[in-house]
């Protein structure tokens, strides 16, 4: 069996483990049983030279890894420091940092805040000393919904006072699970807010990301200056992958005409973009190897500008695999690419 097929089966097993754990509660004794059987199959393949036993054994191990990945996420939710304060009548005060680009819309903005400490009740600004409870690093993220003004920015430290709530689950959409995969376990709607400090990170990644967000903000303002609505919304969606400012009527019209995919960061769009980029660089006289690396950098810079959404990361992986297969002269199988990106 080829290495590409082996990787395909391992990714399928990992995804199957996540799916299985999300549908049913798997007792730990079954997980241990799969672990022992998987290890036994691998040992049999070593001593008796049965290669397919090794594949079965590793598939079992990856099935357990997928299941364990989901169970760890659920454990983090249940044992989160703030979990006991969710859906309680008490207001709490959090001090935390904005860890992503604010999602600014017409009538509101959404901030992902990583709390560093909290206190029960409303803490006045004049209180220099207070009984704060510290929160472990990256233990939780709170999605805060505010009015669009005042504006906040990436890395700002803010104080928010309000009630923590569990994300609602609609009939056709599980918003709680959608946020959970991004590490968000609770929300806070229109709390009292106060800017503490405007921070600028010293590490290289945060510094570069801050500069890219500034460039993105300037680009977005340029779009709104040169294009009037609804054209500005469409251009923003195509260039920045942001269709959140579009009203429902415009989205319905684009959907009915089959154009809604234009504003989505999908694997097919990224592959088309990377193909155009490769062809353009080759036309300019670049070698194929040089065009490959520049195209990869271009794709991931574009995804970075859009804010690293989960769909964008999957699309970037698919586009990178497409370019790599083209560079190596290998056939690209869409099903394998989709499974690898999903895993």
Q: What is the pLDDT along the chain (343 residues), one digit of tens a residue?
A: 666 677 777 788 888 888 887 777 777 777 778 788 878 887 877 777 777 778 788 888 888 888 887 777 777 766 777 777 888 888 888 888 898 888 888 788 999 998 888 888 777 665 556 677 777 655 678 999 999 888 898 888 999 999 999 888 777 777 877 787 777 888 999 999 989 888 766 677 778 888 888 888 888 888 888 888 888 888 887 777 777 777 778 888 878 887 777 777 776 778 778 888 888 888 888 888 888 889 888 888 888 887 777 777 888 888 887 788 777 766 655 555 555 555 5
Q: Are residues 127 and 233 in the same domain?
A: no
pLDDT of res. 110: 92
pTM: predicted TM-score of the whole model, two decimal places:
0.71
Query: Domain ends where: 239, 263, 287?
Result: 263
Q: Are strands 92-98 and 109-120 parallel, antiparallel or unpaired?
A: antiparallel
CA 235 to centroid of chain Cα atoms: 23
Q: Are residues 103 and 177 in the same domain?
A: yes
pLDDT of res. 69: 78
SS (H, E, C) 10-30: HHHHHHHHHHHHHHCCCCHHH
Range of the domain at 176: 83-197
Alpha carbon of 320 to those of 56, 197, 240, 263, 299: distances in Å? 29, 39, 19, 20, 8
Q: Are residues 234 and 295 in the same domain?
A: no
Q: Are residues 256 and 219 in the same domain?
A: yes
pLDDT of res. 62: 83
The CATH number that applies at residue 134 is 2.40.50
DSSP, collapsed to helix, strand or coil, labels residue 158 as: strand
Q: Are residues 133 and 184 in the same domain?
A: yes
Q: Are residues 71 and 166 in the same domain?
A: no
Q: Are residues 165 and 235 in the same domain?
A: no
Query: Domain ends where: 27, 48, 78?
Result: 78
Q: Which residue from 19, 68, 22, 58 is spatially nearest to 38, judged by alpha carbons? A: 58
Q: Are residues 66 and 152 in the same domain?
A: no
Q: How many domains does the chain have?
A: 4
Cα separation, 61 vs 67, in Å, equals 10
Q: Are residues 103 and 186 in the same domain?
A: yes
Q: Are residues 23 and 67 in the same domain?
A: yes
pLDDT of res. 3: 65
Q: Are residues 73 and 148 in the same domain?
A: no
Query: Domain ends where: 78, 110, 125?
Result: 78
């Amino acid at each position: 069996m080829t290495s590409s097929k082996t990787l395909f089966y391992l990714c399928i097993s990992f995804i199957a483990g996540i799916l299985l754990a999300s549908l049913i509660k798997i007792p730990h004794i079954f997980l241990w049983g799969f672990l022992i059987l998987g290890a036994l199959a691998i040992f049999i393949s070593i001593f008796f030279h049965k290669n397919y036993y090794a594949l079965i054994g590793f598939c079992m191990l990856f099935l357990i890894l997928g299941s364990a990945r989901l169970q760890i996420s659920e454990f983090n939710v249940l044992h989160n420091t703030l979990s006991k304060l969710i859906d309680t009548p008490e207001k709490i005060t959090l001090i935390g940092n904005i860890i992503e680009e604010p999602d600014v819309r017409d009538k509101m903005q959404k901030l992902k805040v990583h709390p560093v400490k909290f206190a029960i009740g409303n803490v006045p600004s004049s209180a220099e000393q207070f009984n704060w409870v510290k929160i472990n690093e990256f233990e939780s993220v709170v999605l805060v919904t505010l009015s669009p003004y005042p504006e906040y920015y990436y890395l700002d430290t803010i104080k928010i006072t309000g009630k923590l709530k569990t994300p609602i689950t609609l009939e056709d959409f599980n918003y709680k699970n959608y946020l959970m995969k991004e590490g968000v376990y609770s929300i806070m709607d229109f709390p009292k807010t106060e800017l503490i400090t405007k921070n600028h990170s010293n590490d290289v990644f945060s510094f570069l990301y801050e500069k890219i967000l500034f460039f993105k903000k300037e680009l977005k303002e340029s779009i709104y200056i040169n294009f009037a609505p609804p054209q500005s919304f469409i251009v923003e969606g195509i260039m920045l992958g942001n269709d959140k400012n579009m009203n429902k009527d415009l989205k319905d019209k684009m959907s009915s005409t089959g154009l809604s995919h234009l504003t989505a960061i999908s694997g097919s769009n990224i592959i088309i973009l990377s193909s155009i980029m490769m062809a353009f660089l080759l036309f300019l006289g670049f070698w194929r190897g040089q065009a490959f690396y520049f195209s990869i950098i271009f794709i991931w810079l574009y995804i970075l500008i859009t804010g690293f959404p989960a769909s964008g990361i999957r699309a970037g992986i698919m586009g990178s695999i497409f370019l790599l297969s083209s560079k190596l002269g290998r056939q690209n199988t869409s099903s394998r690419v989709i499974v690898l990106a999903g895993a």
